[in-house]
Amino acid sequence: MWRFEWAPGGLGNIPADLAHRWDAAFEARGNIWQGREFIRAWEACVAPRRRQTPVLLVARDDTGHEVLYPLFHHAERASLLSRVEVTPMGGAYYCDYQDPLSTGAEMSAADFADFWGAFDDAFRNSLGRQLGRLSRFRAFRLHHPPPELPPNLGRDVAPYIRVAGFRSLDDFLASRSKKLRDNVRRGLRHLEVLGCTDLTVLSGEEISRGMEAFLRTYRRQWGGEGREIQLDLPGTAEFWLELALSAARLGKLHLSNITVAGEVWHWHLGFKHRGSILWYKPTYNPEFAKHSPGTLHLAMIVREAIAKGCETVDLGCGAEPYKYRWTEDEAPLFPFESERYGRLLATTRAARGLRSALLPRVAAHG
């Protein structure tokens, strides 16, 4: 039987023994988004600007399992009613994975299914009420499928490149299509002629300046013609910078670029953790798009991952076609919702719809 409690106040309020178990589990079996430093970055950079309140869910059962789930909640309007929206770090767009972290006895997929079922029941009753009479929890990208996933909730995938067992980039490319193989080899030869033989990997004092350049390039690539982009949302630039600095402190940053004759063609903000390099935020200088710098950057990262004995290059959430030139492997990701007093909201929406339908008739007969 699972027991749930909220620990309010964010990471600054957790006891030392809990922090120790968290860090140990993160290094032993967690994904990069479950590290406390990344949670702290969201708390500092994004949550205050979006009026989000941090809260930690602590769950334990009778067999030694313990689950920690850092969440954020904020008030919003829903069908003329005020509702509390609860989400993991990153909401709908920012973080590739949003799983809770198992910090006790190791959990199987069946254990996680039991956890989600118990959490759903608790949230619809007393647990959700502690945050607000009307409340909704939403996670968007979970590795373990919750029980009875509603058919209307779309699923996503996270492709990844297996690099273990390959001796070199050429060895890996021999397993891919001729078109990709030829394009990569031709592009790398062209870079060598221009004097670029490898990535420029940034560290130390270079990181902050490098991130400023990364952000300028990202805005140049995506923000033309007055388009609103992710960087226009409150806290995004600060969050990405703090992610880089936090990852660097942990020895998990992979911030790199392709520089040719003093010009940066392509940037990548990524991370390395537990035998994998995460391909998180790439961006390129549009002036050099014809050289396919993103393809060449990813090829160099694959080469590095093989040389360092990594297991995978994780391409993150999203089924973009270019990823499947590099791999057929993917991990399914699952959304999950739990809503307290969802029927009341549905009734309110129905009443609003009926009112909207009747008003024109009343006006016509007035």
Q: What is the pLDDT of residues 341-354, one digit of tens each?
A: 755 444 444 444 44
Whether 34 contacts 24, CB under 8 Å? no
DSSP secondary structure, 180-211, as one string: HHHHHHHHHHHHHHTT--S-EE--TTHHHHHH
Burial of 158 (0-12, 13-18, 19+ CB in 10 A): buried
Cα–Cα distance measured from residue 12 to residue 33, given in angstroms and rounded to the nearest whole number = 18
Closest to 305 (Cα-Cα) out of 192, 143, 171: 171
The percentage of the chain sitting over the pLDDT mark of 70, rounded to a whole number, equals 91
What's the pLDDT at 133?
A: 87
pLDDT in tens, 73-85: 999 987 678 899 9
Whether the pLDDT of residue 363 is over 50: the answer is no
Higher pLDDT, 356 or 279: 279
Q: Which amino acid is at 158?
A: A
- 36 close to 84: Cβ distance less than 8 angstroms: no
At residue 152, the pLDDT reads 60
Task: Indicate whether 329 pLDDT > 80.
Answer: yes
pLDDT in tens, 158-174: 999 999 999 999 999 99
8 A C-beta contact, residue 213 and residue 264: yes
What is 37-78 written as a DSSP string?
HHHHHHHHHTTGGGT-EEEEEEEE-TTS-EEEEEEEEEEEEE
- For residues 22-30, average pLDDT: 98
Encoded amino acid at 124, one letter: R
Q: What is the pLDDT of residues 106-164, one digit of tens each?
A: 999 999 999 999 999 999 999 999 998 899 999 999 999 887 766 666 689 999 999 99
Do 34 and 99 meet the contact criterion of CB atoms below 8 Å apart?
yes
Q: What is the Rg, in whole angstroms, of the alpha carbon atoms belonging to the chain?
A: 23
Q: How many CA atoms lie within 13 A of 26 on its CB side?
A: 19
Q: Please, are residues 18 and 5 in contact by the beta-carbon 8 Å criterion?
A: no
Residue-wise DSSP of 278-298: EEEEEEE-GGGGGG-HHHHHH
Least confident of 225-229, 288-292, 334-338: 225-229
Q: Is pLDDT larger for residue 365 or for residue 70? A: 70
Given this model, what pLDDT does residue 113 score?
Answer: 93
